[in-house]
Structure formats: C-alpha cells, structure tokens
Structure 1
Amino acid sequence: MNTTRPTPSKDDIALLPEFRRLGLHQITLVDNAPQAREAAAALRDHADWGFDTESKPTFLKDQVSDGPHIVQLSTREQAWVFQLHDPACLELVAGLLADGRHTKAGFGLGDDTKRIKSKLMVEPAGVLELNHIFREQGYRKDMGVKGAVAVLFNQRFIKSKKAATSNWANPRLSEAQLIYAANDAWAAAMVHEALRG
C-alpha cells in the first residue's frame, strides 16, 4: 500500500532548531590547477560526494546563463568550491564529474546537469537526484534540501536569499557565498548518508 507523506511546510521548518553548518575552516576555495589537483586527490578517497552548482543569476527575459560559475563537491568532513574561470581548474572538475565511480548526490540537479553538459562538455556520471528517493518513500512534492533536513534530522537548514542571488561569476567570492555554496553540497552529502542509514 502506497502511503503519501506530507512535505514539511515553511512554518513547520521555521520552528525547528538550526542545522549545524560547515565553517570556513572546513571549506576550500579552488581556483587554480594545483589546488584542483589537490582537491581531486582528496575527493577520490571517498565513494560519495554531495554535489551542487551555482550560476550568476539572469534578470532579463531572454538572457541565457553562461553558468555554472562554480561547482561544489563535499564529503562529510570537508567541502570544495571550484571556481571555473581557470581553464585547467574547469578541466579537472569536468573529469571529476564524468567519473562514474563516485556518487554525486544533490537536489534539483536537472538544470545543473544541463548546464554542465553545455559548459564543461561532459555528461556527469553517477549523479543521484535525492528528490527521487524521497518520491519513492511517498513524498509527493520535491523535497529540496530544507525539507530533507527537516524530515531526516528534525532541524532547520538555513539558506541566505542574498547569497543565493549574488554574483557567482565574481572572481572574488565573499565568505557568505563560500558558506552558502559549500553547505548546499555538504547538506546533500549528509542527507544521502542518512538515507543510506
């Protein structure tokens, strides 16, 4: 028998205690080839990664994004925020994303995957859309990271709207941007681990 489960409302989530986030000491900004090689070596020690991307927002009707501008990959202990303006860094990230030996878990990855194909010229492999797992468990609506954290951990995942709509193409990312981006991927890694439980 299929049971339909309700997705938690914004009001319900607002009452929950705050979900812990990675601090800056657990986040590595990667914007050149040597850093990218180091990050890739660290990531390859782990089978599963949290995954997300960010693109500079478009505000005009027919404006097409040239994102993603950053790619975030995370383990349970550390997150890496890769800036893609350096061609060697972009190439290394493309290699990581095309490597099917590692699961890349995240939310709402359809758009991310399309943009990666267009910009990085690779088909991301091993991508796991976490919403599909929640659908299989009877949740009707897309869960998203906030809903997933509420359901699995009974906590509230904080996302800054200001950071979300900031300029991700900026060569110098702010601390707020780094924390926002890294924690999106990290929360996905934590949700994936909890679902495998």
Structure 2
Amino acid sequence: MHPTPDKDTIAMLPPFGRLGLDRISLVATRAEAEAAYAALTAASAWGFDTESKPTFRVGEMSDGPHILQLSTPERAWVFQLHHRDCRAVAAELLQLKGVAKAGFGLRDDRKRIIEKLGVEPAGILELNSVFRERGYRKDMGVKGAVAVLFQQRFIKSKKAATSNWANLRLTEAQLVYAANDAYAAIRVFDALGLAPGMSGVSG
C-alpha cells in the first residue's frame, strides 16, 4: 500500500500551475452555453465538479448545485445554473455517453445534479477510486493527487470555497477557484493514463 502525502509534505512542494482568467469561460447566457457545448463535445474526457452555496443553519437544505465546472486540459467553463438555458445545456452535456467526467468526491455532486437538473450523469469517474485500486489507502483528494503525480502543491482558497456560489455575479476569485478544481481533475485523469472506456467509469 502507498501512503497518501500529508499536509506538511505537500506544503513544501512548488505550486501547481493553475488556469488564469484568460482560459476560463463564464457561461451565463444561451450563446455562451452553445459555444461551451461546441468546444466541450470535441473532447473525450472532462474534469468535472460543482459548487453549492454553503448552508450554515441546522436543518437548512441546499438548493445547489449553483455552479457546474467542466474542463479540458486547455480551458475550463463555469456554468451558472440559475439561467434556464445554461441548465438545459449542462444537463445535455452531463448525459453524454462516451465522455468521461472525472473528479474527486463526486457522490454528493451526482446526487445534487439528479435533484436539480433531473438527469443521471453518464460516464462519471471517481478519481479517488482509481487511486485506491492502485494501492493508496485512503481518499487522495485533489491536493494529494497533484502532489503524487506532479510533485506540486494545489492551492485552494478557503474564503472562495465557502463563498456564496448562488450570487448572480461571481468574483474573479470564485471563477479561478471553481475552474481549477475541474482543471486539476482532467490533468490528473490524463496523468493516470485513463481512457473514457475504462472500467470504473459509471454510466
């Protein structure tokens, strides 16, 4: 069994090169959604993640996800799901068969997508499961995976993570945070030598 790198080990590594705003597209209109669809369907695998507005009260239910992130190794798209046309295109993309949608900790994302968009995502690949199959004892997560595969430190902003993803206007920090979760996932997918038709891909 391989050990998962600890926080102190990861902290010593050089930073992972993240996508800048010039390679991140916000999707909030029909035209933007159609352009994103055309670009994404040219790829056979995407990094995949969602964000939901945090809940702070006991018993409070989230109506998320509010954001869907899909990424190729070159570019990421951040869909705002309050817009009906964006939701429709997002649902269509998530149902596409033959396209792997790779990410970390996707069980909750999948459940919320079914509730919010009314579709069962196809081709979901939980990257933590791939690492377990390869001899790592516990969930790797994006930080551990980037450390193991690239010997680099993936930086996540706690402030952005707990921000209001339901806002109609997302900040630059939110866009960078959201896009790079999906971008790191597709980079990990590629580095692991995975293919859309491999075992472990659901749907």
> Do Structure 1 and Structure 2 share a fold, with TM-score over 0.5?
yes
1:134 maps onto 2:145 in alignment: no
* Counterparts of 1:101 and 1:91, CA distance in 2: 19
Runs ≥4 in structure 1, deviation > 2 angstroms? none
* Counterparts of 2:108 and 2:29, CA distance in 1: 25
TM-score, with structure 1 as normaliser: 0.97
1:183 maps onto 2:180 in alignment: yes
Note the alpha carbon deviations across 1:112-162, whole angstroms, 9 max, x for none: 000000000000000100000000011111000000000000000000000
Note the alpha carbon deviations across 1:26-83, whole angstroms, 9 max, x for none: 0000001111011000000000100000000001110010000000000000000000
SS of 2:2 mapped into structure 1? coil
Match of 1:15 in 2: 12
Superposition map of 1:84-99 within 5 A:
84-99=81-96
SS of 1:112 mapped into structure 2? helix
Aligned partner (choices 76, 81, 84) of residue 79 of structure 1: 76
Superposition map of 1:27-46 within 5 A:
27-46=24-43
Identity of aligned residues (%): 66
Letter paired with 2:167? N
TM-superposed CA distance for 1:111, in Å, is 0.2
Show structure 2 runs of 5+ residues with no match. 195-203
* Counterparts of 1:33 and 1:143, CA distance in 2: 36
TM-score, with structure 2 as normaliser: 0.95
Aligned partner (choices 23, 48, 60) of residue 51 of structure 1: 48
SS of 1:139 mapped into structure 2? coil
Letter paired with 1:86? H
Match of 1:143 in 2: 140
Show structure 1 runs of 5+ residues with no match. none
* Counterparts of 2:55 and 2:138, CA distance in 1: 26
Alignment RMSD (CA, Å): 0.7
Letter paired with 2:89? L
1:164 maps onto 2:127 in alignment: no
Question: What is the number of residues matched between the two proteins?
Answer: 194
